[in-house]
Each structure stands twice: as structure tokens, then as C-alpha cells.
């Protein structure tokens, strides 16, 4: 007897809904089209040479090499903010992919919010 498999469409739908329509990433542009091109890779490497330690680890009293250049205030496609080095900070991958992403998700959940929550702004040197 042939057994029918349950369709996976419902599962896929729940994942698709999590992408916010207003997100600058939702437009389907590649990372290169979003500004992460050769110039970015070159400037990123230079920035990490000048700022080799994760600022969040330092704030916690630890020393760990940074391997990500993070935008303190999410640029959301604003190229002026994207290239503003005063808006860059060196982070280790765990802080960037964990703590910082949670902070940004919290920010997105706050209607009308334009910057990181104030306690994070002070802690990590964001005006």
C-alpha cells in the first residue's frame, strides 16, 4: 500500500512569514548588491587590522580576536551609514551571531525604534 507523505508547504510557510516585508534583505539582492563587495572586503580587512579585538568581549573583561566588522546601528540599506566607519565595531563571530543579532531582533520588534536600545548604546560606545 502506498503511504502519502504530509506536505511540507505548511512548515515552509511558517518560515517565510518570519521575513519582514520591510526588511532591506527581503528584496532578494545578493550580498554584493547590498554593498558587501570587493571594496567592503578590503576595508573590512584593514579595519580588523587596526581594531583586532572584539569590543563586546573587552566590555566583559575578556580578550578575543575580532573577525567580523559589525554596523553598530543597522544600516538597513542606507549606504551612507553602511560606509560610515564611526558606525563600525569589531566583534567576534559568537557576539555578532548571538548577542548582537538578538539586540537587533528586539529593536525590530519595537515599533518606531531607529537605533539600538539605550543600554546597549552606552555599553558599546554608540552615541
Over residues 31-69, the pLDDT tens digits come to 777 778 899 999 999 999 999 999 999 999 999 999 999
pLDDT of residue 1: 62
Instruction: Look up the domain containing 55 and give its range.
Output: 48-116
In eight-state DSSP terms, residue 85 is G
Domain count for the chain? 1
Instruction: Give the model's confidence band at 127: pLDDT under 50 very low, under 70 low, under 90 confident, else very high.
Output: very low
Domain-embedded: residue 27: no
Q: What is the pLDDT of residue 121?
A: 47
Report yes or no on 56 lying in a domain.
yes
Amino acid at each position: 500500500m502506498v503511504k502519502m507523505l504530509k506536505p511540507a508547504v505548511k512548515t515552509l510557510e511558517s518560515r517565510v512569514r518570519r521575513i519582514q516585508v520591510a526588511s532591506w534583505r527581503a528584496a532578494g539582492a545578493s550580498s554584493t548588491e547590498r554593498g558587501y563587495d570587493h571594496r567592503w572586503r578590503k576595508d573590512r580587512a584593514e579595519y580588523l587590522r587596526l581594531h583586532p579585538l572584539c569590543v563586546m568581549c573587552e566590555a566583559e573583561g575578556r580578550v578575543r580576536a575580532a573577525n567580523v566588522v559589525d554596523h553598530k546601528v543597522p544600516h538597513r540599506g542606507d549606504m551612507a551609514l553602511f560606509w560610515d566607519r564611526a558606525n563600525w565595531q569589531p566583534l567576534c563571530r559568537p557576539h555578532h551571531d548571538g548577542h548582537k543579532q538578538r539586540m537587533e531582533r528586539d529593536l525590530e520588534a519595537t515599533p518606531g525604534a531607529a537605533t539600538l536600545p539605550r543600554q546597549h548604546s552606552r555599553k558599546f560606545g554608540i552615541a
